[in-house]
Structure 1
Amino acid sequence: MFEIRVICETPDREAVVSGLRSQFNIGRVRSSLSLTSGGERLYITADLPAANPWPAPEQAYAVAPSIVREIGWTARAAAERPLYTDLGREFWLRKAAVLDRIALADDRENAPGDAAEAATKAARRLMDLDSASGLGPSGHADGPYVPDHPESTRNPRGYVRQEYAIWHKNNQ
């Protein structure tokens, strides 16, 4: 753990914090007025991010149903609730996971398409849902990263793999 001190102009504060968040796991940002520049002095506690905190796709989806079966499940679940109302966490988790698996297959076969973007959007939807539900510090079950953690924000699809592996382990 280390502390970063930055002196910046007030309008640049969010860009500075966002840039630091993209490179480090940062804690609460404390600030005070800078006596020399008239801007802000920011104090941020930070850690280096872990090399790869997420389960590998092969590990997360090792016992997952086939992609075709998961597409069928999500289509049936969506058809039962028009306009995507009240679909629940399981729907968004399984949808995000199947889209992640499709995007991974596209990457392996070097097939350009929209799968990666769709997978990221679905992952962010799951993270928003989890964040709004007020998950505890250990995530949904035993996961190390909650949806608002900088690592989760940096890699939404990694968050889906973490949560899918935990969900599947608890729902066998």
Structure 2
Amino acid sequence: MTDTEELRADEIPAPFTARDAYNGAPEIPAETHAVLRLQVTSGDHAAPPEEVREYLLRHAALADRVAEESGDGDDQARAEKMGRALLDHDRRHGLKGSPYPPDHEIWTHRGPRAYTRQEYVTWHRPTA
């Protein structure tokens, strides 16, 4: 199947839940510290795209986890915004998502938080 082919409903695997995606992730305070450290090293996006991507991925995942835990509307909006930043970054730099790349039509339906979860699983558990 190519990136542009339509998916039939029975061909689309269920998206990762937050619980599945972040199983084994560092505790939120430790991850917050790591994200802040990455923010300093990736600067104002002048770092190499892969380095900026790690910051965006971990920041989006952290925001998603906080939103899931709190249920707060502002946290939900922040998680969407950070997921969108990751998705846009990957599209802009031609970085490949796994199994679905950032320009795949599935993200029109699932949204940026689902992309964040997919990519976090791939990054955090590369053999998943």
State the TM-score, normalized to the length of structure 1: 0.60
| Structure 2 residue corresponding to 1:134, chosen from 70, 94, 97 | 94
Q: Any stretches of 5+ residues in structure 2 without a counterpart?
A: none
Query: CA–CA distance in 1 between the matches of 2:63 and 2:10?
Result: 26
Q: Any stretches of 5+ residues in structure 1 without a counterpart?
A: 1-26, 29-44
1:169 and 2:116 matched: no
Instruction: Select between 162-171 and 87-96 the one with higher mean Cα deviation.
Output: 162-171
Query: CA–CA distance in 1 between the matches of 2:115 and 2:85?
Result: 11
Structure 1 or 2, whichever has the larger Rg, is 1
Q: In the comparison of the two structures, how many residue pairs are matched? A: 121
Amino acid at match of 2:99: P
Contact 2:42/2:55, CA 8 A, preserved across alignment: no
Query: CA–CA distance in 2 between the matches of 1:92 and 1:156?
Result: 12
Alignment of 1:1-172 (within 5 A): 27=4, 47-48=8-9, 53-86=14-47, 88-107=52-71, 112-135=72-95, 139-140=96-97, 143-154=98-109, 155-170=111-126
Taking only aligned residues, the RMSD between alpha carbons, in angstroms, comes to 2.6
State the TM-score, normalized to the length of structure 2: 0.79
Query: Residue 93 and residue 167 in structure 1: after superposition, are their counterparts in 2 closer, same or farther (change >3 A)?
Result: same
Of structures 1 and 2, the one with the larger relative CO (CA 8 A, separation 6+) is 2
Q: Report how far residue 58 of structure 1 moved.
A: 1.3
